[in-house]
Amino acid sequence: MNILASLQPQLCDKFETQAFDLKRDDLAQVIVEKKIWRAVMDYLKEEAGFVTLLTITCTDWIEEERFELNYIFAHETKRCDLMLSFSIARDGESVQTLTDRWPQAEVMERDLHEMFGIVFEGHPNLASFALENWHHTPPLRREFDTLAFVNEHFEFRKGREENVDVKAEAKRLRALKKAKAQAEAEAKKEKGADDADE
């Protein structure tokens, strides 16, 4: 859409963007460094017409040791969306809050704080959102292994010791079936040989 195409030169001239990716007609992504993200966000809100905050997402690139925060804005005509992305460190780096500009940011930042452990400076109430009395690592971080957590903290109910591994059992049954079919074929061959003899 023309809005995004015409935004690209304006934005890249004014700010030092690392990348501007026009994904579709109605979606573009701008990757910046953390230190200028507030300025870019202000520009987008005041002058480019991206007045709605749709969501804040976070992706955990654990192998590159960063969190990538994505702020997704919608244009006031609702014809296109823009993703503003920047990376922060995985341990304790805090981000300034957006609750002064958009009231919906309060819930979204609470959610991210609970799930990833990101601290938002200036947030009025970083209480728990969906979990209750959770004292372990924030669950959506990649190092939190749900299977290991379950095995450590819960006991399996008695009565399931005969449970078998499905793949191994299927293999064993297939081998059995094959052996039986082979034995029958050989028996038939012998019988046929006997008949032919008579």
Q: Would you tell me which residues interact with other proteins (CB under 8 A)?
A: 23-27, 29, 51-55, 57-61, 70, 72, 74, 76-81, 83, 85, 102-104, 106-108, 115, 128-132, 139-140, 142, 144, 146-147
For the CB of residue 11, give the shortest distance to other proteins in the complex, in Å.
18
CB closer to other proteins, 23 vs 191: 23
| CA nearest neighbour of 26 among 85, 79, 75, 74 | 79
Report yes or no: 56 and 45 within 8 Å, Cβ to Cβ: no
Give the helix/strand (H/E) hosting 105. Answer: helix 105-116
Minimum CB distance to other proteins, residue 158 (Å): 26
Could you give phi then psi for residue 96, rounded to 5 degrees? -75, 145
Q: Give me the least distance between CB of 120 and other proteins, in Å please.
A: 16
Closest distance to other proteins from the beta carbon of 196 (Å) = 47
Nearer Cβ to other proteins (58/184): 58
Choice between 132 and 155, CB closer to other proteins: 132
| Residue of 16, 98, 101, 82 whose CA lies nearest to 44 | 82
Shorter beta-carbon distance to other proteins: residue 62 or 190? 62
Tokens of residue 52, six digits: 């709605």
CB of 188 to other proteins, least distance (A): 37
Q: Of the candidates 62, 72, 73, 56, which has an alpha carbon nearest to the alpha carbon of residue 129?
A: 56
Give alpha helix (H) positions in 118-165: 146-153
Residue among 127, 29, 36, 133 nearest 85 (CA): 29
Nearer residue to other proteins within complex by CB, 61 or 156? 61
Helix (H) or strand (E) holding 167: helix 166-197
Q: Is 25 left (phi over 0), alpha (psi -120 to 50) or beta?
A: alpha
Least distance in angstroms from the C-beta of 59 to other proteins: 4
Q: Based on CB atoms, which residue is closest to other proteins, 25 or 47?
A: 25
